[in-house]
Structures are given as structure tokens and as C-alpha cells.
Structure 1
Amino acid sequence: MSRTSPTDHPTMRPFDLLLPGEINPDLILSGDVEPQFGQAEKRVDSAHLTVGSSSVITACGAARLGLKVAFIGICGADLFGRFMLEEMQLRGVDTSAVLVDPLQATGLTVILNKGHDRAMLTFPGAIAALRADQVSDDLLRRARHLHVASYFLQDALRPGLPDLFHRARALGLTTSLDTNWDPAGRWEGVLDLLPLVDVFLPNAAEACALSGETDVTRAARRLADLARTVAVKLGAEGALSVHAAQTIHVPSIPVDVVDTVGAGDTFDAGFLYGYLHGWTLEKSLRLAAICGALSTRAAGGVAAQPTLDEVITVMDGGR
């Protein structure tokens, strides 16, 4: 039996992509950023307030490529919340489902960027507040695909994700997941969720940690026994994808790297664009790898996110 009626076919829905996620800006401090306590003051080279949140960066990257994107999350009625909503709207993300809670503070991440390395300090605020039952069936019916990121940061959402993914699939949506790193190192719940995931998007370290494998190709193949398609981010080495018996590797492209913040999230946006347009696995993976690489050309996660035309030019051999 069809999961949707002819008048509710997923391709006819107003949004390509729905993301339930965390909302927080990033404050990026660059230069000699190691603090000295004892009330010592140091100067840094630059300070940049920009869009943060793995989920929001993916949403902005997808909208930049031309997907119709809706977002649901919780933020405070404060300066950081207003900043994030304005930036998301400016980049074409529909925020009409976002819940503004005056009793909560919007989260914030301070990134101490030394160029070759970085450290992050996060005030959680409302980052972990969204629950799965706040993502209504009516909202799901308006989208073709559900993407969840920051699995281990979203404490209130995580317990309800199996039900949310079941509901999404029953309503005709496809699903994807990018867990990001587990700070506790336990990786609980992910393997049980993967059979409900159409596209799983870890990086190499995450894939190996989840699978128990030390080789990333074996890790991807083991995870592909659970999720339908696995696309693994390999940084400067490109990307690897496994679907059924097919294993594909694509290289990255040369780029003058300024900041790698959000590169994996922009990779996700690129892969989902190809997936939702019925592209081949190899073409979708190439698009994703190029999107991730091009996003590193400027500080922050969204400033250098490419348009589809930019990516196609690179895919066709230009620079």
C-alpha cells in the first residue's frame, strides 16, 4: 500500500528538506587565542560572529544550492536568537516553525582558532531543548526528506528519534543522519537507529568508532549493512560512499583553506542535493566533496558555501 495519496506525493510538497535541530551562533576568535588567567588581557587577530550549529549550517548550505528548506528548533527571545533567525531567513531557510521561548537563552559556541587547530567552548542554552513530539505530522507532510544532525547534543530530541523517523517514513519522507562526534565516547543508540536511515553521513573517525573497525572502508561497509547508503567524509582525502555492493571513492579538490568549520555540514548539504535529485552515487559524492572543500575558503561555516553553478563549474573542470 502506498504511504502517500496521489495528492500528497512527496515531489509535490513545499519543502525538499526539513531539519529539526539546534540553534546557536559561533563566535570565532582567531590568532594567539590561548588565554592567560590571572586577569591577563591578550589581543587576538579577529573576532567574527557567524552562523553556528551543524543543523543550521547544513540547512543554509542546502538552500544555497537551491533546495527548499524548512527548519524547526528552539531559541531564546534574545540577541543571539534574533541573529540566528535573521541569518537563516537571509539565506533562504524557512523558520516559520522555529519556537521562540522567552524563558530560555540561545546557546553559543566560542571557537578559539589557531589556524592549524581549534578549541571550542559551548554554552548549551536551548540547544538541547527540542523534543521529537514537537515535530508534528503536519510539518512532516510538507517535506520530502528529514535530516537530523548533532545527535549527541540534542538531548531532548534523541530519545524520540526512532518514533520520529518511523513517522517520517510512514508519511513518505526519506531520512538522513549525521551524528557528529560523541563527547562521551559511548555512541549509544546510533546503531539501533540506522535501519531507519536512508543516508548516513559520518566522518572517518565517527564511522570507525561506531563500527569498531580501524579501516574506514571496512567501517563504511559494515555501517551500510544497517543504513541504506553511507557517505563518509575524509577531509583532504575526499569522500567514500557505500550502497549495497557498490563502493565509491572520490578525491577532494585543491583549495586555499581559511577555516574548516562547517565543511562536513556543507558536504551533507551537497550529498542530499544529489540524492534528492536522483543523481548517481558517484555524482552526488563528487558534489558533496566539492561543496565541503569550497566552504573552507572563508571563516565560519556559511560565508563560503557554494552555489550549484560554482560546484558544477568545478565538476566540469574549471576552478
Structure 2
Amino acid sequence: MILTVTPNPAVDQTIDMDEPLEADSVQRSTGTRFDSGGNGINVSQFVTALGDETLATGIIGGFTGYFIQQNLASFDVPTDFCEVEEPTRMNTAILAPNHQYRLNQSGPEVDSEVIDELVDVLQEYQPSIVNIGGSLPPGMEPADIDRLAGAGEWDTALDIHGNDMIALDGTYEYVKPNEVELEDATGIAIEDIDDCAEAARQLQSDGFERVIASLGAEGAMMVTPEETLYAPSLDVDVVDTVGAGDSMFAAVMWAYEQGWDDERALRAGVATSATVVGHSGTGVKHLDPTELMDDVRVWTLRS
């Protein structure tokens, strides 16, 4: 089982406007959408779509937390969240002509008792992989991630902010940075694929067995103990890039659960991401990486 931990989930509200925003005026939107947000939540949705066993946990509260539970149930994603009194945060995106506006809340304050509850959830289910992803809520520190990772025999996969990566003391089996997070974690300015490879190798030397970097339109890179693999993205019609990196990471972990090797896992990740960007939002109910895997090219880069 791939169990996901989203410490600071969100309800993502997307508001569509057909006119520019104006100060000190009352305007009406043309449409609004609400989605469950957060790296781990997205990964669990994609693992479910891939047909594998998963469970989503994390910290929720209030009416927005209730929405997340009900929304995930509609996608057949099992959940076992830890609850606090304050409502789960809401992140708002306003899509107006020529401009986008985003306002992200910080999230509810958490304490050590909630971390204890998370440890209990992980130990109850004993998954093969624990994926911890997204931002940390107020009151939670990188040391708490070390504690969650070290509470059992599972492999741990991370998708957290670059500054949090370098503050960890433990060693980890998987980490998925994007280009910005690679720069933040290593201090290496990334302008091309070679820079990315250098930064990913440096990050690996800091205690991560496999670095799976999502590079947006440029594709994905995987640094293993033996080699550095690079796969360009597929040429597909792009509708929405939200969740593309999460879907890639979910498919890589799913592939390892099937016993696939590194190259085949990377192919599965890039193929899955290519499918997901053809849909709006993260609510894809069925994914089959094998439909596009033969189209994915993988190159081995020299060290």
C-alpha cells in the first residue's frame, strides 16, 4: 500500500472572471470550482486511478476538512485523517482576463499531539511506501517528518519544499523536487538539463536514494545509486498542468510496487503525466501508463 500524508491540505477554490478585477467594486464571477488540494491527496487520487491500494491521511478540520473527506470518497479514495478544531485552509485562485491572482492561507496550528496521532495511523496500516508531501502547517517542523519516516519499516517518499528538505536529518528512499525546489535545496542555478542533473546528484548525496525531478514541459529526471536517467515530456495537447508532477510521482511509486525497474518506472511516470495534462483538474478516475509508455524516450546521462 502507498499511504500518503498531507500535513497541510487545502480546499482549492478556482474562480473564473470574464472581466478584469477592479478595486472597491462588486463584481460577479462566471464560474467557481472546488477541489481537494495537497500533494499527498493528489497522489492518493492518482494511485487509486492506477488501480492500486492507497490511503490518504493528514491533518484536517472544520467544514473545509469535511469537504475534503467527502470529495475523496467520491473518487473512492480511502481516508483516515487526524482532526483539529480550526478549519482546513482554503486556497483561492482568480482567473481573470490577462491576469491570475492567488491567495493561499497558512493553515491551522498543529501541536505534538497531532503528530502522535499521525504516527499511530501509519503504524496501524503498515504501508510499503509512505508519501509525505506539500507544505508544513504552523507548528510542524522538518524534525516531525523525520519522526514519521522513522516510525516504521516502510520506504518514505517526499515532495516538500526545498528548505525543508535540507533541514532533515534522516535518509530517504525517494524525493521529488521540481526545478525551484532543486535550486532551493542545493543552491545550484538550473538553466539546462545538465544543471538539473548536477543539482539532483548533489541532493542525492545529502541522503536521498532516488531523486525523481519533475521538470514541467522538459520532462523528468531520475538519479539512482547507479545512473542518471532523463525522459523528455511527450508531445500532447495540454489542457491543465495542475497535478502533473504529482501524477508522475504517483506512477513511479506505483511502478516500483509492481516490481518494475528504474527505467520502466520513469517511463510510467512520464506517460501518466502526459495523460493527466489532457484533463482539467486532478479528478482522473482511470489511468493506464502502458498506453503511452512505448512513446517515452529515456536517455542515460553521463556523470
Counterpart of 1:140 (choices 123, 132, 136) is 123
| Contact 1:74–1:129, Cα closer than 8 Å, also in 2 | no
Deviations along 1:58-106, one digit per CA (max 9) or x if unpaired, are 111112112211122232342x3222111212223221x21344x3212
Q: Paired residues, what number? A: 288
Q: Give the one of 258, 266, 278 matched to 2:239.
A: 258
The corresponding residue for 2:43 is 58
Q: Distance in 1 between matches of 2:73 and 2:109?
A: 19
User: Of residues 233, 237, 257 in structure 2, which corresponds to 1:276?
Assistant: 257
Structure 1 gap ranges (5+):
1-14
How far did 1:42 drift?
Answer: 5.0
Q: Cα gap change, 1:312/1:150 in structure 2, threshold over 3 Å: closer, same or farther?
A: same
Would the aligned equivalents of 1:129 and 1:157 in 2 still touch at CA under 8 Å? Answer: no
Is 1:39 matched with 2:35? no
Residues 27, 138 of structure 1: alpha-carbon distance in 2 compared, 3 angstrom cutoff: closer
2:185 aligned with 1:210, yes or no?
yes
CA distance in 2, matches of 1:65, 1:127: 34
Aligned to 2:93: 111
Separation (CA, whole Å) in 2 of partners of 1:153 and 1:138: 18
State the SS of the aligned residue for 1:136.
helix
Q: CA deviation at 1:196?
A: 1.9
CA change 1:261–1:116 in 2 (3 A) is: farther
Unpaired stretches in structure 2, ≥5 consecutive residues: 190-194, 297-303
CA RMSD for the aligned pairs? 2.7
Task: Quickly say closer, same or farther: Cα 1:317–1:232, change in 2 above 3 A.
Answer: closer
Question: Aligned with 2:292: secondary structure?
Answer: helix
Contact 1:203 1:234 in 2 (8 A): yes
Give distance in 1, aligned partners of 2:66 and 2:210. 36
Q: In 1, Cα distance between the equivalents of 2:83 and 2:53?
A: 22
TM superposition shift of 1:253: 1.3
> How far apart in 2 are the matches of 1:20 and 1:129?
15
The Cα shift of 1:17 comes to: 2.4
Partner residue of 2:149 out of 155, 158, 165: 165
Aligned residue for 1:261, secondary structure, equals: coil
User: Residue 259 of structure 1: CA displacement?
Assistant: 1.8
Change (3 A) 1:127 1:111: farther
Change (3 A) 1:162 1:146: same
Residues 63 and 304 of structure 1: is their aligned pair in 2 closer, same or farther, counting only changes over 3 Å?
closer
1:196 has 2:171 as partner: yes
For residues 29-58 of structure 1, the C-alpha deviation after alignment (integer angstroms, 9 at most, x for no partner) is 2355752111242544x3211222222111
